[in-house]
Structure 1
Amino acid sequence: MSTNAQRSGSGSIIASRSAFTHTGSPRPARPGQLDQALAENIAGGVDPEQLSAVSHATAWALLSHVHKTDDPQVVERVLTLVDHEGVDVIAELWSHAEPDSLPGVLWRLYLLRTWMRKRRDSIARLWRLGEPIVTSASAIAGVDAAPTEEDIARTADSILAGAFRGDFAVALDRAATFVDVVVAGLRVQAQRFNAHAKAMADLDRSAVGTTEDIRAAHTKAAQLLHTAANLHTTADDLRTGAHLWRRGRLE
């Protein structure tokens, strides 16, 4: 996931503009229509309170509508909302929502799915590195110890589908656990780059190009650790969402 995927004011890497019994506010009766007119209106500079109201209304409407329907086409369209409407339209609605709100959590879930499907090859490799460290993750996230690229894509879809059609909190916990494993994999990679840099330094720091190679290895390790830290924040956001949902306080 690129640096465009970082939310302003937070370390969460899955909240950006790049690319579920509610006891609070009443749910709108009809699903929000994410059409171009709405997008242009929002982008034109709506009052922050109005934007917040729209983001919460559309999030609740979407979730409620899918729970009430048996139409598989409606479900499929909601699950692939970013594919159909475009990430920028969804970003205008939800990317500025607080991470402990329903629109904020939905935004993270949609971008997590997008990222997992687009980077399925590298994520599969990171999972294989991180899974032995987070030993219970396979059972919780529903992923094999050595997943293929297609396994990652299917998991991305099933997590989002579970949020809309199953237990919302369980889906959030699955997503958080999945991210935990990727974080562990990134840290393993970073350790390998740092170890490589140390080995080069121990061999012969005076060799031509060795200093630059050492610096490059350390830089790569730092980048991986930065991404891991951002993803760790995302996992925390998802777990907080699950906790609030179970208490009827995710609004």
Structure 2
Amino acid sequence: MTDEHRPFHRPTKFTGAKFDNLHGGDDPAETSRIAHETAAALLERVRRHPDPEIVSRLVSYTDDNGIDAIAELWSRAGAFSLPGALWRIYLLRLAIREDPHATSLQFQRGSETLQSIDSVVAGAETPTGPSEIIELADRILRGVFEGDFAVALERAAAFCRVSAVGCTSLADDAEPTEPERASVLTIRALRFSEFASELTTAASLWRSDSLD
């Protein structure tokens, strides 16, 4: 059984390795139906009446309950679907909170290296340390329920693009003396790049009312 399909156990200890290896895949019709219905119902209900207390509970849900329930519902949904997009946002937040020191270093390096507005779009404070990167993760997820959903997806995608560049730069630094660490960082850069592309497409589909 691969990490992608390995069951979670509450509370899930979310490691960087799991972020590197987890990815949604094709699912049976019934699982797909449930995933889409629950994602649509949750988003519609909360966005119609964005009670701050309810939004806060949804943002912090996995802190107390692990990722079990969300994974069961949404982890195997396709990338270009509402449950798939929600899963990726939660997954990013969990990865950030599990190791804010590493993720803030990756993001900060990417911000210094990447010649684009992505770091601004992502919305992190500068300089970006562990507390700033945790705050960014929470703001992005909160935006899913309170603000423009497409903007939240685009901010997450921008975060991923910056982090991918940061991981690649750090991998280059590590390659001469720490080839194993360089390999891990390269894999993570690829995963961030994949998420960036998927979330950008999901945002475009949402704007055209085509996100299933």
Normalising by the smaller structure, the TM-score range is 0.7 to 0.9
Corresponding position of 1:218: 179
The total of aligned residue pairs comes to 195
* Letter paired with 2:207: R
User: C-alpha displacement at 1:234, in angstroms?
Assistant: 0.9
Q: Is the 8 A contact 1:176 1:238 kept in 2?
A: yes
| CA–CA separation in structure 1 for the residues paired with 2:34 and 2:136 | 30
Residue among 196, 203, 208 paired with 1:235:
196
* Letter paired with 1:229: L
Residue among 79, 97, 113 paired with 1:133:
113
How do 1:11-160 and structure 2 match up within 5 A? 15=23, 48-135=28-115, 136-160=117-141
Q: 1:4 to 1:70 in 2, by over 3 A?
A: closer
User: C-alpha displacement at 1:70, in angstroms?
Assistant: 4.3
User: C-alpha displacement at 1:14, in angstroms?
Assistant: 5.7
Q: 1:126 to 1:97 in 2, by over 3 A?
A: same
Write out per-residue CA displacement over residues 18-56 of structure 1, whole angstroms, 9 at most, x where no aligned residue: xxxxxxxxxxxxxxxxxxxxxxxxxxxxx9211111110
Corresponding position of 1:244: 205
Higher mean displacement: 96-105 or 83-92: 83-92
Corresponding position of 2:12: none
| CA–CA separation in structure 2 for the residues paired with 1:101 and 1:219 | 35
* Letter paired with 1:112: L
Q: Is the 8 A contact 2:123 2:136 kept in 1?
A: yes
Q: Is the 8 A contact 1:186 1:224 kept in 2?
A: yes
Q: Is the 8 A contact 1:131 1:145 kept in 2?
A: no
Q: State which structure, 1 or 2, has the greater radius of gyration over its C-alpha atoms.
A: 1
| CA–CA separation in structure 1 for the residues paired with 2:157 and 2:114 | 12
Q: Is the 8 A contact 2:16 2:99 kept in 1?
A: no
Normalization by structure 1: what TM-score? Answer: 0.72
For structure 1, the 5+ residue unaligned runs are 7-12, 17-46, 198-216
Higher mean displacement: 98-107 or 179-188: 179-188
| CA–CA separation in structure 1 for the residues paired with 2:51 and 2:151 | 23
* Letter paired with 1:152: I
Identity %: 37
Cα RMSD after superposing both structures: 1.8
For residue 112 of structure 2, give the secondary structure of its aligned residue in structure 1.
coil
Q: Is the 8 A contact 1:5 1:14 kept in 2?
A: yes
Normalization by structure 2: what TM-score? Answer: 0.85
Corresponding position of 2:168: 187
For residue 80 of structure 2, give the secondary structure of its aligned residue in structure 1.
coil
Corresponding position of 2:157: 176
* Letter paired with 1:3: A
Q: Is the 8 A contact 1:190 1:220 kept in 2?
A: yes
